[in-house]
Amino acid sequence: MRGGGGGGGHREGSGRPLTRLLPQGENGVGGRAVRVGTRRSQLARIQTDSVVEMLRELHPELHFEIVAMSTTGDKILDTALSKIGEKSLFTKELENALERNEVDLVVHSLKDLPTSLPPGFTIGAVCKRESPLDAVVFHPKNCGKTLGLLPEKSVIGTSSLRRAAQLKKKFPHLEFRDIRGNLNTRLKKLDEKEEFSAIILAAAGLKRMGWENRIGQLLSPEDCLYAVGQGALAVEVRAKDQEILNMVSALHDGETVLCCIAERAFMKRLEGGCSVPVAVSSMLKDGQLYLTGAVYSLDGSDSLKETMQTSVNYPQQNEDGPNDDVQHVGITARNVAGQAQEAAENLGVELASLLLSKGAKHILSVARQLNDAC
């Protein structure tokens, strides 16, 4: 790509020069726009718009074009996610477009991205995390209640084995049933039919949609540990596309990066995914990164849960070097101390290894077999 006319190159958070992605032209549209890939759902568009808005503030000279597409996960609505057996349900078509050079970057919910990305791709930015917690949305007739106050045999809708496994144990008087579709569809099913007393959704999605008032109960990590990466947005790019990588890396939020590296490393070591109940919670406080991780049987009766911590209090090294673009579980974060990222990844691996030494592999393999057989 050519540098723009006018002033010199722009700089972003990593301190590297950023050449103009658009050649000089009338209103800056003489060159090619930066093409941003996204899913078609309303929530995906809202999330993508928020990322593009941050990039526009940093680079008002650039023009951005949003390219929306449907993914496998959007098209298969009659099967539980855990049954489909495809690791890249909501990302594959977007990554294909990235590979074909049809888009320059893709905005995802981080929890949709597998812990191992296809060769040639990297997560160039992890934006500041919205609430990672799960939320309960009640049928209008149950307004003001909590899960514990719902009548015996009330049916709760969730598409997540992780949520169902934890909540079955905590609320044995409730029944859990699969519910699919985007946020709008699931809320419509809840409100217009009598099938569900409540549904469980990610609080972050409800907040981004402006539906925070529908949250009847927030589930703390003590009630329900959350999904790896939940609440965080990720920007995936071609690993060798230095201009785009430079541009998006300014969006990294250091605390979110370290928490999510630890969570993703935990999941990767366990070889978990949406077909087994794996859950986490993480926190960065006073230079210490805390990670809680757990695995569950499908009915929640068997589980292992542990917490570990590590120091991530390392200074940022500004020198470029051969390890400048090291990936940690798919994430390239140039503006976060490399030693801190390494410590976060090691924390996730060590916590998973601890659970494996206590029998996590057996719990997960039985859960996987039962899920496949159902």
Q: Are 356 and 273 in contact (CB under 8 A)?
A: no
In the sheet with 155-157, reading across from the earlier edge strand, the strands are: 175-177, 155-157, 198-202, 134-138, 217-219
Let me know the angle formed at the C-alpha of 278 by 277 and 283, rounded to the nearest 5 degrees.
Answer: 145
Q: Are 289 and 258 in contact (CB under 8 A)?
A: yes
How far is residue 228's CA from residue 67's CA, in Å, rounded to a whole number? 27
Nearest to 248 by CA among 120, 56, 95: 56
How far is residue 12's CA from residue 18's CA, in Å, rounded to a whole number? 7
Nearest to 21 by CA among 49, 56, 61, 55: 61
Distances (CA, A) of 312 to 277, 329, 361: 28, 17, 29
Q: Does 112 qualify as catalytic in the annotation?
A: yes
User: Cα 50 from chain centroid?
Assistant: 15
Which amino acid is residue 221, in one-letter code? P
Which amino acid is residue 13, in one-letter code? G
Q: Which among 112, 134, 223, 253 is annotated as catalytic?
A: 112
Catalytic residues: 112
